[in-house]
Amino acid sequence: MGDAVAEASPPAADPAGRLVELAAGYSAATDLEAAGDTLGLRSAGTLALGTVDQFESGDVMEVAVPENCGDLTASADTFVLACRDEVLLVDAATGGVDKRSLAGTDAAPALGATLTSTGELVVGNSESDQVLVFGQDAEEPLETITVAGNTSQLISVPRGDGDDAVVRTNHANTTIQDIHWRDGEQGGTLRVGLGVGRIAAGENGLVIVSDNLGDQLAIYTATDVIRLHQTSPVDDSPWGVDWDAGRNLAWIASTGTNTLAGFDISSGTPERRVLLNTVADAQNVVVLEDGTLVLASATGGGLQVIDTPELTSQ
């Protein structure tokens, strides 16, 4: 139980949409996020920035980043990368990098960090039970919060007109926890199936989660406390997830079968509305503001772009 890893894919067969070949310097994508319509694609020591059109033309910005960084997150205009003893804030429009040192704080070594919509930087220690909250441009933390173990992934989740929720996972223990960061307190902790894969933010406190070892989609909310609402079986080795606000679908990519499924969760029981073929090792999926789906292969299979998936009952 726990310590889930995305299963290696079989060869791809007729992926949906169109494929964009990536340059050698960032062809194996370990992370993919979107800030507005700008994609941030990380591969080893490179963070490539650009729109879908720019990736297709090869006209992207390449930002050098340390190879020991952790999970990539994004706000409306900034990519966030925790790199053990510092956090990089990368401007999505210019590629400019603002380095925030964690030296001498309880946040280091950090592999997970997120910006709230109000500008606070929240950072989770990857080896101990500390999460720190920093104000805008502040070197000293506003809060140091003891949580339920070390932090693997950390995201901000919009909650309407209120403060963002902040949610973290621990891959070893396969747990998910919300953090009451304004109050300097940890929230409740829940186990995620057999082995949590990835988490992604929706709207109004919604959190989309893959249970990689249990082959499940899990739907949580973090409006006041973290709550599990729905689960559904999915194809083998689910990993990448995202929320599609325009279609009201939860998307989940399974590397064991090279498939991407979209689930309608409005009825209280997830109902699969679409199933698409993907590139091999599609460990990351994002939904852009215009509804375009973008997946990235971790083994050089390129960027997969799906403009208008056809929804059907399954």
pLDDT in tens, 128-158: 999 999 998 888 999 999 999 999 999 999 9
Q: Is residue 313's pLDDT more than 80?
A: no
- Note whether residue 143 is domain-resident: yes
Average of per-residue pLDDT values in the chain: 97
Q: What percent of the chain has pLDDT over 90?
A: 95
Q: Which two tokens stand for residue 212?
A: 């990689």
Q: Is residue 314's pLDDT more than 80?
A: no
- Note whether residue 205 is domain-resident: yes
- Note whether residue 294 is domain-resident: yes
CA 227 to CA 214: how far, in whole Å? 18
pLDDT in tens, 251-292: 999 999 999 999 999 999 999 999 999 999 999 999 999 999
- Note whether residue 8 is domain-resident: no
Q: Is residue 81's pLDDT more than 90?
A: yes
Q: Is residue 160's pLDDT more than 90?
A: no
- Note whether residue 313 is domain-resident: no
CATH of the domain at 47: 2.130.10.10
CA 154 to CA 156: how far, in whole Å? 7
- Note whether residue 312 is domain-resident: no
Domain boundaries, position 66: 18-306
Supply the Cα-derived Rg of the chain in whole angstroms: 18
Confidence category of residue 26, pLDDT binned at 50, 70, 90: very high
Total of domains in the chain: 1
pLDDT in tens, 256-266: 999 999 999 99
CA 108 to CA 87: how far, in whole Å? 10
The answer to whether 37 and 51 are in contact (CB under 8 A) is yes
Task: Say what the pLDDT of residue 161 is.
Answer: 83
More confident residue, 211 or 104: 211
Instruction: Give mean pLDDT, residues 73-102.
Output: 98
Phi then psi for residue 138, to 5 deg, are -85, 135
How many helices, marked H, and strands, marked E, lie in the chain? 1, 28
Task: Say what the pLDDT of residue 147 is.
Answer: 98
3-state secondary structure of 25: helix
- Note whether residue 12 is domain-resident: no
The answer to whether 31 and 71 are in contact (CB under 8 A) is yes
pTM: 0.97
The answer to whether 208 and 243 are in contact (CB under 8 A) is yes
Phi then psi for residue 24, to 5 deg, are -60, -30
- Note whether residue 230 is domain-resident: yes
Give residue 34's identity as a one-letter amino acid code. Answer: A
DSSP for residue 26: G
